[in-house]
Amino acid sequence: MTGKDVMEGQIKRIDLTRDYTAHREAYREAIEKVCRETAFSGGKYADAFDREFAEYVGVPYACGVNNGTSALHLAMLALGVGEGDQVIVPANTYIATAWGVSYTGAEPVFADCRVDTWEIDPEAAEKKITSRTKGIIGVHLYGQPFDYAGIRQVADRHGLFVVEDCAQAHGARFRGRNVGSLGELGCFSFYPGKNLYAFGEGGSVTCKEESYYRHMNRLKNQGCDIRYYHDEIGYNYRLEGLQGAVLSVSLNYLPRWTERRREIGARYEREITNPLFTMQAHPEDTEPVYHLFVVCLEERDRFVRYMEAEGVECNLHYPVPCHLQKAYAYLGGKRGDCPNAEYLADHCVTLPLFPEMREEETDRVIRLCNAFR
Ligand SMILES: *Cc1c(COP(=O)(O)O)cnc(C)c1O
């Protein structure tokens, strides 16, 4: 990369090529090792990453899987969710948070988010509890930890589990504790573009209880502990060796990446002073990791076109809240059910932010935001 593409003014929302270019040798060495040993499916490199990731999160166990959606599915299975059950899920999230519930035959029930943090609102969640509710999945959305204490209180009052969807929040902390170590289970994604990512697909479920870990390990491995003896109907959700090896390399870079994300996020928050923009609130007891930098503004669509004309790529996370997705029309969700999530969907836009973003690119995004009328 040269200064040329900066002069031309193209700024991508995220550019993974810069990471590969910077760490090419380390990545290639890791890949070569797996190939030499043909440790392709599960195996020693996948297991090694599980141990390292558990240590990073601060839990005894991490169960590596083939993607974050499978992580959420396994979490629901391990917690005994099935047909007839309900699980509360925020309306403002990526749809996969709800898929894991649906795959078991249970029903996601969508709860609204708070106006300030844009995270699941404990009060709204409590109102959705019925005799069929088994648990709550909170999402640390855009890298900002949700109000775990508030959700835990609601869950404990009603005897429910709490699962954390940590797909956007590797390394974030709530009251000094890592996300993924708070609830019964924590579900991570290593999709390319997440704060920690594989060269393909990957995911993990972090947990404190050995019985959950053992059960998930069996489920992801075709339902067997001993090869060719299948104790229950299982899945093929194993993490690939190549992904494990690449993730072990990336995990070393994650603290530095997180630092860079925080620096850029802090600059946006300090220097974008245009009163047309509102930003996600970060309560004092949380340490966010800025997976996505989302702002809200009335004339969102005009802003996106304006940035596009300047060569700056912005996108929307997410244009349709879960309760209004066609896939969930059968649940009868309608406009007005989750007004805060609906407002976000209509007004949110994501600014470029990734660890390798250059100062002059950040400057330019800030200038353009402040110049928007
Ligand atoms: C990315 C993501 C997922 C799904 O992860 P995949 O690895 O893409 O299957 C789930 N929940 C949230 C909040 C996500 O951002």
Nearest CA to ligand 1 atom 14: 167
Beta strand pairing call for 185-189 and 161-165: parallel
Nearest to 215 by CA among 189, 243, 184: 184
189, 199, 204, 289: which to mutate for ligand 1, most atoms within 8 A of CB? 189
Give percent of the chain above pLDDT 90: 97
* Helix or strand run (H / E) with residue 269: helix 241-271
At 144-167, the pLDDT tens digits run 999 999 999 999 999 999 999 999
- Looking at residue 9, its pLDDT comes to 76
Q: Which ligand 1 atom sits closest to the C-alpha of 139? A: 13
Q: Tens digits of per-residue pLDDT, 200-246?
A: 999 999 999 999 999 999 999 999 999 999 999 999 999 999 999 99
Ligand 1 in contact with 68 (CB < 6 A)?
Answer: yes
pLDDT tens figures, 85-130: 999 999 999 999 999 999 999 999 999 999 999 999 999 999 999 9
For ligand 1, pick from 168, 197, 350 the residue to mutate: most ligand atoms within 8 Å of CB: 168
Q: Quick: pLDDT tens for 224-236.
A: 999 999 999 999 9
- For the CA of 67, the closest atom of ligand 1 is 7
How does strand 293-296 pair with strand 286-287? Answer: unpaired
Helices marked H in 122-240: 122-127, 148-158, 210-220
Each as own residue / partner, the long-range contacts of residues 322-326 (CB below 8 Å, 24 or more positions apart, any chain) are: 322/89, 322/90, 322/91, 322/92, 322/93, 322/95, 322/97, 322/98, 322/108, 322/110, 323/91, 323/110, 325/95
Does 329 have pLDDT greater than 60?
yes
Does ligand 1 come within 6 angstroms of the Cβ of 243? Answer: no
Residues 187, 204: Cα–Cα separation, whole Å:
6
pLDDT number for residue 64: 98
pLDDT at 42: 84
Mean pLDDT of the chain: 97
Instruction: Calculate mean pLDDT across residues 21-45.
Output: 96
Put simply, whether the predicted model's pTM sits higher than 0.95 gets the answer: yes
pLDDT digits (tens, 9 = 90+) for 278-325: 999 999 999 999 999 999 999 999 999 999 999 999 999 999 999 999
Rounded to the nearest angstrom, the distance between the alpha carbon of 189 and the centre of ligand 1 is 5
Does the pLDDT at position 346 exceed 70?
Answer: yes
pLDDT given at position 189: 98
**Cα–ligand 1 centroid distance for 39 (angstroms):** 26
CA–CA gap between residue 333 and residue 372 (Å, rounded): 35
Instruction: Give 96 Cα–ligand 1 centroid separation in angstroms.
Output: 6
Q: What is the mean pLDDT of residues 313-338?
A: 98
pLDDT per position as a tens digit, 174-194: 999 999 999 999 999 999 999
Atom of ligand 1 lying closest to residue 291 CA: 15
Q: In what order do the strands lie in the sheet with 133-139?
A: 61-65, 203-207, 185-189, 161-165, 133-139, 86-90, 107-111
Report the pLDDT value the prediction gives residue 3, as an integer from 0 to 100. 47
pLDDT at 4 over 90: no
Angle, alpha carbons 102-108-112 (nearest 5°): 150
**pLDDT of amino acid 179:** 98
Pocket test for ligand 1, best of 103, 144, 179, 191 (most atoms within 8 A of CB): 191
Does any ligand 1 atom lie closer than 6 A to the CB of residue 66? no
Instruction: Tell me which residue of 80, 125, 88 sits closest to 104, measured CA to CA.
Output: 80
